[in-house]
Structure 1
Amino acid sequence: MVSYEIVDFFRVKDIVNYRLKFQVPLSYSGVEIPGCTVKEIYVVANITQKYDEKLHDVRVFPEAKTNLVLPEKPKIICYVQGGPGFPCGVPLSSTAFTKVLLDRGYQILFLDQRGTGLSTPLEVGTFSHLLPQINGESKEEYASRQLKFIVNFRADSIVEDYEFVRKALGIEKWSLLGQSYGGFTSFTYLSKYDTSLKEVLVTGGVPPINFSPDDVHSATYARTRERNEHYYDKYPQDKLKVRNILTYLSKNKVTLPNGGNLSVERFQQLGLLFGASGGTDHIHQLVVKFDYDLSTFGFPTYQILNEVQNDSTFDTNVIYPLFLEAIYCDGTGLGKKSSEWSSDRLRYATENTKFVFSEDSDHEVYFTGEMVYKSLYEDFAELKKFKELAYALHNNKEWSSLYDAKRLYETKVPIVSATYVYDQFVDFDLTRAVKKEVFKGNGNLKQYISSEFFHNGVRADAEKVLGSLFDLLDCEID
């Protein structure tokens, strides 16, 4: 009996894509959420294969459009997307890491993680549809119910979705390639269902197991300071330009095209772009254009405001800012503590002075990075509606368990990781500490360590990064 619906089927040159829709429980623990209109949601997975005339040509096999066709012994690898809160793009060509994996004989499963893409996406409209506010209910009471609802969209539930899909497709074991937060999710998968996995590849995504949100953000601020130092060393002329822009924003209300507010803090968060190849140069171009507009017209043009807006995805991917500190809250050990707006608090630590703008200071002002601030829920048009939920999440002390250190230590599943020395988002030193303290030198986590790439290394050079990981798997080099 088919347990999925084919949403789409198409061929582009030498690849074929199937998009499959599965109905899964909202809560795998069966917890009832008062006022919720659904008990089940949908997740959609795309399976990408090399075109095979015997399997996919509808003239040869008419059912190809209406039934997923897999080889007799399918070799499936799940690309576990980064985030949290971002969908998987559907490959339209055999390039980058898609090509590397297909050429190695894999079929690739791209899952829109629950709450993203086609998988019951969460945004203001859909959220209020799935969990409407009750007449007479205060904002705080509604936020309490929203909290009970949204915790079902964490990594442990995402892993359950993968298991649901694996069983529905009749796959005994499959492999994982986890990028960034997808690597965190892969370690949760290993902690719960390592017997379902053949091998796990991780790129920039070894989670900070047994470290608190404050530990993580202390390290993140340090890495972001380094990126700012590099930026101003490369573009010293931008020190004055950035101060000019921030001074203007501090004195004027600037409204973005979608109605959001461009505050000092929101402009500084463009520092997220530092984490990928070319990010420093991109920010320079934004700064030059914005400062040029101010000197020419006395105000920013629509063009630059639209560009700044489009370089931040918080409005279109609301799970990302809502969960950015929640992903570091594990239900065991240090994770039992609430994050209490960790990155917001640590911004005012002595060593982080340059992250705080003041007209009275004369130092250069640093861009921030993968941090969330209370001001987000005043500045972003969509996030304003989630302000009470954001506070509930950051103050929450009851979290599900994400990692089982004992099981990770004992697992026989090969785990290989690309670890980037200058990764702005997943700290190198914390990653090494996890290897030492969780795996204790047993060889279960093998690392390809590189100072050549930033956080997006697998996209920047898939052949080199994945080739190095497969070498570790094939040769068992530590």
Structure 2
Amino acid sequence: MAQTITSERPLPPTPDNDAACSCEIIDFFRVKDIVNQRIRFQLPLSYSDPSNDARISVVVNITQKYDESLHKVGDIYSTVILPESTKLICYIQGGPGFPCGVPLSNSAYTKTLLDRGYQILYLDQRGTGLSTPIEAATFEHLLPKKQGETSDSYTKRQLEFILNFRADSIVEDYEVIRKALDVDQWSLLGQSYGGFTSFTYVSKYPSSLKEVLVTGGVPPINFLPDDVYKATYARTAERNVHYYNKYPEDKQRVRNILNYLDANKVTLPNGGNLSVERFQQIGLSFGAQGGTDNIHQLVTKFDYDLKLFGFPTLQILTAVQNESSFDSNVIYALFQEAIYMDGNNPSAKHSDWSADRLRLQAEPNFTYNKDSKDAVFFTGEMVYKSMFDDFVELKKFKELAYALHSNNNWSKLYDTQVLYETKVPIVSATYVYDQYVDFDLTRQVKQQVFRNNGNLKQFITSEFFHNGVRADPEKVLGSLFALLDCEID
């Protein structure tokens, strides 16, 4: 028998705001043996300021196996339909600042979860996808500059606004939605930054959770951005050494490309600037399966164009432009260091462009020197000041970016005592060669926060990189479920 929830149903009061919210179903469709139902919630912008009555849209997609007895009942656009024995798991997307894709086939980790009897809730985190997306035009629409307002005053208001899009607010969104769906407890699967958010969830609302699965996403609790980037620069240097050992001819090819970019102003198809630093940033791909080979293809094509024509073709410029998603996912750039700033950590004052500051200290090869003959290293998941000049959309957020890196008033993300004492089972896939979430820092968190009490069980593997759950969901998730079932240690 179906559990039904009617559209436009008033939702429970939010934790810090008595105003009720509402929901509406905005889409429903079937693709072969799965159905997707998208629901839009009107939720508070701020959960911490009762005087702020602003609302934003937050959209979730619930994916289920098609069941004729359930999914032909009533008006599917006025009712959220879940099985009587609901078994919901929330897939929490990585990022920060990325939406969840809607499954269009019963495949990958969607199939793995559905086959285990789950219904899956995919949430577009606030500021992404259909959830009041943040980009330059929408930001100006949501927060227009007042007549006569100074730039400093406007930047301060922008900072106050954007700080409502951190993990603690995302968790509050989940809680309101859980209550609206009348679900006592649900499970979490957090990928990368989604794992960070899952730990925030456990810290705030452990009684709402049955179990937590994390893939490449144990947060560096009580560590600062400098600690993170010292570690990830070392991992990225290792990936560069591997790359040049595999493709030794690319040492000169990369230098040819950077010499050209240093001597010429190169404009990308969308109007962005392809600087030396921006080209180095394609090293972000090292963190995923096949990333090394993908970069080799880009380097080969770019160098070939230079030799054939004396300039890069539109095709290769488009390919390089599409390697990064900072223009279309600005929160990713704005919050890259902010995600490590936890108000519970007294040392978390301001990030002060950590990746930029540590670049030279980490390894001189990360900095281009036209007179050197050494290999030039690609960088990784780091954000630099130059990006807010090179990327078209990011230019419009430059003042806000500097304000974020100077901010010293951060919301609280993790409660280490709750994490230590929780009875919520937490299992994690931890990747030895993870370029983004350092293996050694993860191990230190397990020792320092959980103090080896068994509350965090790990599937440790060197077979996968950061995207292991996408590369082989059956193996990665199967290993995590085995840990939950106490089948392996």
Q: TM-score, normalised by structure 2?
A: 0.95
Q: Does 1:338 align with 2:350?
A: yes
Partner of 1:27: 46
Whether the aligned pair in 2 keeps the contact of 1:446 and 1:472 (CA below 8 Å) is: yes
Partner of 1:420: 431
Partner of 2:3: none
Q: Does 1:56 align with 2:68?
A: no
**1:307-340 Cα shifts (integer Å, max 9, x gaps):** 1111110000000000000000010225522000
Q: Does 1:121 align with 2:136?
A: no
Moved over 4 A (4+): none
Tell me the distance in 1 between the aligned counterparts of 2:51 and 2:291.
44
**1:29-52 Cα shifts (integer Å, max 9, x gaps):** 12657xxxx701010000000000
Whether the aligned pair in 2 keeps the contact of 1:344 and 1:372 (CA below 8 Å) is: yes
Partner of 1:384: 395
Q: Does 1:456 align with 2:467?
A: yes
Cα distance, 1:441 vs. partner?
1.1
Residue 433 of structure 1 aligns with an amino acid whose one-letter code is Q
Q: Does 1:296 align with 2:315?
A: no
Alignment match of 1:268 (pick from 280, 283, 292): 280
Residue 53 of structure 1 aligns with an amino acid whose one-letter code is E
Distance 1:31 1:150, change over 3 A: farther
In angstroms, what is the RMSD of aligned CA positions? 1.1
Residue 116 of structure 1 aligns with an amino acid whose one-letter code is T
Whether the aligned pair in 2 keeps the contact of 1:328 and 1:335 (CA below 8 Å) is: no
Tell me the distance in 1 between the aligned counterparts of 2:346 and 2:314.
46
Tell me the distance in 2 between the aligned counterparts of 1:225 and 1:393.
27
Cα distance, 1:85 vs. partner?
0.2
Whether the aligned pair in 2 keeps the contact of 1:315 and 1:380 (CA below 8 Å) is: yes
Unaligned runs of 5+ in 2: 1-5, 10-21
Partner of 1:41: 56
Partner of 2:262: 250
Please state whether the residue corresponding to 2:244 is helix, strand or coil. helix
Residue 38 of structure 2 aligns with an amino acid whose one-letter code is R
Whether the aligned pair in 2 keeps the contact of 1:335 and 1:399 (CA below 8 Å) is: no
**1:116-140 Cα shifts (integer Å, max 9, x gaps):** 0000000001100111112222323
Residue 356 of structure 1 aligns with an amino acid whose one-letter code is T
Residue 26 of structure 2 aligns with an amino acid whose one-letter code is V
Alignment match of 2:33 (pick from 7, 11, 14): 14
Cα distance, 1:361 vs. partner?
1.2
Residue 396 of structure 1 aligns with an amino acid whose one-letter code is N
Whether the aligned pair in 2 keeps the contact of 1:86 and 1:317 (CA below 8 Å) is: yes
Tell me the distance in 1 between the aligned counterparts of 2:267 and 2:315.
13
Distance 1:348 1:174, change over 3 A: same
Cα distance, 1:4 vs. partner?
1.5
Tell me the distance in 1 between the aligned counterparts of 2:130 and 2:315.
30
Whether the aligned pair in 1 keeps the contact of 2:26 and 2:77 (CA below 8 Å) is: no
Whether the aligned pair in 2 keeps the contact of 1:340 and 1:395 (CA below 8 Å) is: yes
Whether the aligned pair in 2 keeps the contact of 1:220 and 1:424 (CA below 8 Å) is: yes
Tell me the distance in 2 between the aligned counterparts of 1:95 and 1:232.
35
Q: Does 1:356 align with 2:367?
A: yes
Tell me the distance in 1 between the aligned counterparts of 2:32 and 2:451.
47
Please state whether the residue corresponding to 1:64 is helix, strand or coil. coil
Tell me the distance in 2 between the aligned counterparts of 1:41 and 1:233.
49
Q: Does 1:320 align with 2:320?
A: no
Q: Does 1:395 align with 2:406?
A: yes
Partner of 2:195: 183
Aligned length: 470
Q: TM-score, normalised by structure 1?
A: 0.97
Whether the aligned pair in 1 keeps the contact of 2:266 and 2:273 (CA below 8 Å) is: yes
Tell me the distance in 2 between the aligned counterparts of 1:12 and 1:141.
49
